[in-house]
């Protein structure tokens, strides 16, 4: 099966996708999320200039393990020629697709004309996407926002048509403007409007924080799938929960996971599962990145992983003070002993 056919097949299943997030969606976290139900994952943002000069950080980001094949590599930059050349380099890693970042709103990124900076000039954005498509044989997708600023500058519907016309194979729409950043509510209606005018799959992104949100986003927009970002950092079980709820809709005959299933949202992870994920994530991060860095980069996940446990805050503080894997594992073992004694119930 070709890469284009594989991608189309995955989108036909109403995928729940892990969003690209800098310093988060590395190979270890992608593996954890996939185990918990993420259909497709996307890498951290890869700077095209760093990739073209062979920087170690960029090489790490595009390296895909044998079990990491249902993954797209996301690239970003302001120079169309460099984006196209970097797409060729990324293609050699064997991803499922190449994704172009046209949605990052961070000021230092947009100031260079990269990320959501492309939305200031939609025509240039389309020309850039066409150049990238011509340079690779893999499917090219685009992740973008609904516009740069106010509604008068909201190009997403026409932009979706034009991107489809130049060969972009799928579109992920974060339903806020670039100027909003993470402020305000995501307006999913824009994803629905864009989806209605194209034949390529459209993913809805923004404020998808639960299984119920995923189901509602698909029902309201008719999109091919949902992409989940920030919620996954502390609660990667959201993929398992969303997948279960969408699959339940299918079983109830509501079709492709976007109906009004009669089931309830799946149960949250148990205390034992939360502690186990802390341990697994620590071990795999240290294996991949060494000590103490592997321990340090796991800490951002602890607030969510330990959420709801009566002793969670104290346990988190102890883990945050510990720089060694063995010490962290001892702390978690003590937590499991408390759990066995009923202290976490």
Question: Are 95 and 175 within one domain?
Answer: yes
302 falls within a domain = yes
pLDDT value of residue 151 = 60
Map tokens 């729940």 to a residue. 16
Q: At 44, is the secondary structure helix, strand, or coil?
A: strand
The CATH number assigned to the domain holding 309 equals 1.20.120
pLDDT at position 142 over 90: yes
- Section 109-120 average pLDDT: 95
Q: How far apart are CA 340 and CA 268, in angstroms?
A: 19
Indicate whether 49 pLDDT > 70: yes
Q: Which residues of 142-157 are buried (b: 16+ CB within 10 A; e: fewer)?
A: bbbbbbbeeeeebbbe
Percent of residues, the chain, with pLDDT higher than 70: 93
Is 265 among the domain residues? no
Is 345 a domain residue?
no
Place of tokens 């999109």: 223
Q: Of 251, 280, 312, which residue sits at a domain end?
A: 251
Domain that holds residue 318: 271-340
More confident of the two residues 265 and 169 = 169
Q: Tell me how far apart the alpha carbons of residues 205 and 17 are, in angstroms, rounded to a whole number.
A: 9
Catalytically annotated residue among 104, 223, 322, 328: 104
Q: For 87-103, what is each residue's pLDDT tens digit?
A: 999 999 999 999 999 99
The reported pLDDT for the residue numbered 263 is 46
Q: What is the pLDDT of residue 337?
A: 87
Residues 165 and 25 both lie in one domain: yes
Helix orientation angle between 80-91 and 122-135, rounded to the nearest 10 degrees? 30
Tens of pLDDT, residue by residue over 244-292, are 999 876 655 554 444 333 445 678 899 999 999 999 999 999 999 999 9
Q: Give the residue ranges of DSSP H helices in the chain.
A: 3-11, 27-35, 48-52, 56-62, 80-91, 107-110, 122-135, 156-165, 189-195, 211-221, 230-234, 237-251, 271-289, 293-296, 302-305, 312-321, 325-340
Higher pLDDT, 164 or 266: 164
The model's pLDDT over 281-328, given as tens digits with 9 standing for 90+, comes to 999 999 999 999 999 999 999 999 999 888 889 999 999 999 999 999
CA distance 23 to 280: 18
CA distance 257 to 265: 13
Backbone dihedral angles phi then psi of residue 92, each to the nearest 5 degrees: -65, -20
Which of 194, 219, 251 is the last residue in one of the domains? 251
* pLDDT, tens only, 171-189: 999 999 999 999 999 999 9
Q: Is the pLDDT of residue 51 over 60?
A: yes
pLDDT beyond 50 at 21: yes
pLDDT at 256: 45
pTM for the whole structure: 0.92
User: CATH code at 66?
Assistant: 3.20.20.70
The tally of domains found in the chain comes to 2
Residue 104 bears catalytic tag: yes
Same domain? 127 vs 234: yes
Amino acid 266: pLDDT: 72
What pLDDT does 27 receive?
A: 97
Residue 26's pLDDT band (boundaries 50, 70, 90)?
very high
In a domain, residue 166? The reply is yes
Question: In terms of domains, do 16 and 98 share one?
Answer: yes
Q: Tell which of 223, 251, 279 closes a domain.
A: 251
205 and 95 within one domain: yes
């Amino acid at each position: 099966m070709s890469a284009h056919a594989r991608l189309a097949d995955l989108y036909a299943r109403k995928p729940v996708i892990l969003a690209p997030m800098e310093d988060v969606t590395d190979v270890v976290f992608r593996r954890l999320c996939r185990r918990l139900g993420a259909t497709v994952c996307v890498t951290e943002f890869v700077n095209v200039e760093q990739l073209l000069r062979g920087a170690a950080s960029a090489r790490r980001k595009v390296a895909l393990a044998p079990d990491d094949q249902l993954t797209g590599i996301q690239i970003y930059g302001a120079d169309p020629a460099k984006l196209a050349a970097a797409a060729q380099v990324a293609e050699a890693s064997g991803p499922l697709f190449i994704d172009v970042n046209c949605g990052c709103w961070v000021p230092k990124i947009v100031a260079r004309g990269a990320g959501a900076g492309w939305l200031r000039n939609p025509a240039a954005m389309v020309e850039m996407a066409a150049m990238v498509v011509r340079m690779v044989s893999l499917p090219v997708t685009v992740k973008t926002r609904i516009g740069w600023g106010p509604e008068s500058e909201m190009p997403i519907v026409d932009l979706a048509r034009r991107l489809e016309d130049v060969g972009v194979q799928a579109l992920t729409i974060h339903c806020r403007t670039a100027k909003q950043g993470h402020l305000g509510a995501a307006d999913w209606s824009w994803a629905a409007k864009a989806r209605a005018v194209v034949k390529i799959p459209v993913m809805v992104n923004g404020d998808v924080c639960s299984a119920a949100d995923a189901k509602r986003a698909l029902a309201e927009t008719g999109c091919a799938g949902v992409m989940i970002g920030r919620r996954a950092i502390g609660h990667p079980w959201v993929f398992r929960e969303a997948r279960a709820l969408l699959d339940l809709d299918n079983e109830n005959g509501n079709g492709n996971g976007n109906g009004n299933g009669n089931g309830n949202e799946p149960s949250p992870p148990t205390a034992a599962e939360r502690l186990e994920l802390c341990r697994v994530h620590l071990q795999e991060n240290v294996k991949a990145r060494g000590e103490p860095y592997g321990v340090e980069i796991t800490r951002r996940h602890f607030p969510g992983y330990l959420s709801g446990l009566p002793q969670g805050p104290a346990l988190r503080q102890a883990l945050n003070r510990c720089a060694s894997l063995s010490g962290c594992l001892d702390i978690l073992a003590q937590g499991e002993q408390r759990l066995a004694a009923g202290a976490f119930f």
